[in-house]
Structure 1
């Protein structure tokens, strides 16, 4: 996992998210990583997971913990 920010990314929210606030995250991909940020703090920190292994483990852990 890295916190380095690339220059330009196309961010998107889940179709389950709304524009009415709440706890939403946005996701973007680049050539090497899947990046995650808080949709309310777009200029804030980002998490970056390597494509494949680290991202898959992260998503699996979220699903198992019921988030």
Structure 2
């Protein structure tokens, strides 16, 4: 599955797994850096979903206010 098709829930679950692996330690520096980079990408995906949801809520509120 490509990053573009990850749902919020999938990205969040994978991000939690990445964080857990980083906190546990035991990885090489290279592995840790790769995990960190993956975590950053997943965090961006999650933020994109949250921003989109915020925009939809704002649009719905404006439509309701303008229609009242």
TM-score by length of 1: 0.28
User: Which protein, 1 or 2, shows the higher relative CO under an 8 Å CA cutoff with sep ≥ 6?
Assistant: 2
TM-score by length of 2: 0.28
Please say which structure displays the higher CA radius of gyration. 2
